[in-house]
Amino acid sequence: MNLTYLFNAILLSSLLLTLSGCGTLNAVNNLNDGAGETFMQIWDKWVDSKGDIADATMWEVKVDEGITLEEVIDAINSTAIQNNIKNVGELPLSDELKARGIQSGVIYVMSFCNPETARKMIDFSPAMSGFLPCRVTIIEKEDGLYIYSMNMDMAIKMGKKMPDDLLKDTMQVRDTIWTMLQNGKSGAF
């Protein structure tokens, strides 16, 4: 067993026992399946990143060599269309920066939404509206293009239990976003 995992499990268990009088156990009992595993993955990523919460809560995929920005965008949009997810906006941020005289590598922000699922999610938890629409960002680093999106497992598994129909719809959106990253990295349709 990984020593870090064991330490984190002991720390989490101690914390839960300490906070049980504060309603923590009630909250934990209301989580979706897989919450603990997802928490530990995010925790480990947070520790590895030296406390960068944004890094810990994002999916990151490196784009394969030779795949162009246009191919990544086309693959992501194609995946969205095939899965009934609407592209609700694109922001070529690096183009805007260049227009303002600021040199920048690629920063391209894409926003996606399934309106029916979004409505159900907001009815379930109005605070979830802060995560809407789902964003996929393509950025350029020194070694190539990368695609980022929020780790949706965090919002789904670590959140309170959803009704079965909402969980099914939300998982379909989650799986589509994950597929967008995978197809985008290789330029696949």
9 part of a folded domain: no
21 part of a folded domain: no
- The reported pLDDT for the residue numbered 11 is 66
Spans in the chain with pLDDT lower than 50: none
The DSSP code for 15 is: H
- The reported pLDDT for the residue numbered 134 is 93
CB atoms within 10 A of CB 22: 9
108 part of a folded domain: yes
121 part of a folded domain: yes
CA-to-CA distance for 173 and 74, rounded, in angstroms? 18
- The reported pLDDT for the residue numbered 65 is 96
> Domain residues for 153?
58-186
- The reported pLDDT for the residue numbered 125 is 92
Please give the tally of structural domains in the chain: 1
Token pair, residue 132, equals 């809407």
117 part of a folded domain: yes
At 131-172, the pLDDT tens digits run 899 999 999 999 999 999 999 888 887 777 889 999 999 999
99 part of a folded domain: yes
CATH number, residue 134: 3.30.310.70
CA-to-CA distance for 132 and 114, rounded, in angstroms? 10
What's this model's pTM, rounded to 2 decimal places? 0.80
Residues 28, 148, 89, 155, Cα dihedral to 10°:
0
47 part of a folded domain: no
Closest residue by Cα to residue 95 from 110, 114, 112, 108: 108
11 part of a folded domain: no
- The reported pLDDT for the residue numbered 44 is 84
Closest residue by Cα to residue 161 from 41, 28, 43: 28
Sheet of 134-141, strand order: 58-62, 144-150, 134-141, 107-113, 86-91
